[in-house]
Every structure is written in structure tokens, then in C-alpha cells.
Amino acid sequence: MKIRNGFVSNSSSSSFIIRVSDEFPTVKSAAEYIIGCCDNETETELENLNTLSNPDLPVFFNTWGDDTYIRKDGNFIIIQTSQNLDVDRLYENCITKKELPEGFGDKYNYIDDDYDESYKEDIDDYTHTFDNPQEFNYYYHNFRDFVILQYGEGIKGITGYIDNCPNCGRFNKMYKMQNGQNICFCQMDKYIQKFERKEKINKINENS
């Protein structure tokens, strides 16, 4: 089974960094703005966003077919979202590499399997030499702690791709979960059901 995670060459994503401000002080505030630029297909995501225990939890949600990832790092908020969205207020707050602490971008280097090795040279050039405020493209969300807003705070991970899923037999999108499991989209409902049952059992045991 081959797993592919990362970006494809024809991706329409836009990645950049903004400085924490009165307008965008938290991950939640940036996510609310981006969700507001979408249609009502993100209604569930907004509801789950408003239930988060911490407004700075890293979050993931889908925006018009593209992945949106947002996380906070000190006085900066790192954002990957769809370049098809009109998010001018975020772009107006973009910063350049010169405004970042030395070595900041190294934490978000593209690290992936051999499937994506062919992209690595170009990506290294971007992550180490960008000067344009919107040229933090290809930052790799090198973590699995993003709250998947479609499901709520209990479900954390990032997206990837899987070849020849043993269940559906397709090349398909998947979630790389925080616990290390790789779940094809065709199995996500079953995974959620198992997770919810486990949570209920844990609560019963806590109260017994």
C-alpha cells in the first residue's frame, strides 16, 4: 500500500504567514474569516470551531476543494488556504521572511516519502529564500495535531492520499490521524463511530 502526502504540482493552494494583530489575534479569528469567505458548505465547520476549548488549536477544514490549515507559532499565524478565495484582509497582513526569526521556516520544511522527492528541491528554494509576502508556498504542515473541523475537536490529523485502498480499491484521499493511523475517506465514518464508542466507554469508566 503506497501512501502519498503533500502537495501536487497543480495545487491551487496559497500559503503565507501573518503577524498576530488586533484583527487576527488567534487561529479561530483567522478561521472564522476564511469560513466567512466560503458558502454555507462550511456551516458544520463553523459550529465546531465555536466549540473548541482553545482558540489557538491548529485547525483543518476544506475550502472549495482545497485544504485550509491554520496554526499559530508565537506571534505569527501560518495559513494554507485556497487561492480561489478572496482573503484580501489576510494578504494585507502578510509578512516576509526578513520579518521572521532566524530558522523559523526550517520547522515547516517539506518532509515526505520518495513519491514527493522530485518536488523537494523546488520546495527548499521556496521555504528558504522567499521575499514576497505570499511566497511561503509549499510549507509542509509537518504535524498531525490539526483539529479536523468537519468532525470536531476529538478528531485530529492531516490529509494525504492513498493508492489502491484495500477497502475501496481506489486512489483516494485519506486522513493521517494523530494516533498514527491512515484512514481512507471510504472508512472515515466507521473510524468516527469507533472513536465515539471509545469516548462513551471512557466516560462510563470515569463515572463508575
DSSP 8-state assignment for residue 152: -
Please count the structural domains in the chain.
1
Closest CA to 83 of 70, 62, 66: 66
Q: Are 111 and 142 in contact (CB under 8 A)?
A: yes
Which element (helix H / strand E) includes 47? helix 43-49
Residue 155: band (very low, low, confident or very high) from pLDDT cuts 50, 70, 90 = very high
Alpha-carbon distance of 128 to 142, in angstroms, equals 16
pLDDT of residue 109: 63
Q: What percent of the chain has pLDDT over 70?
A: 76
| Three-point CA angle 107, 89, 22, nearest 5° | 75
Closest CA to 141 of 79, 66, 188: 79
| Three-point CA angle 64, 68, 69, nearest 5° | 175
The C-alpha R_g of the chain, in whole angstroms, comes to: 18
pLDDT one-digit tens code per residue, 9-50: 345 677 888 999 999 999 999 999 999 998 767 889 999 999
Q: Helices H, strands E: what count in the chain? A: 5, 9
Q: Which domain holds residue 65?
A: 1-208
Task: Please give the single-letter amino acid code of residue 167.
Answer: N
pLDDT of residue 92: 86
pLDDT of residue 185: 92
pLDDT one-digit tens code per residue, 106-147: 777 655 544 444 444 443 443 333 444 444 545 656 788 999
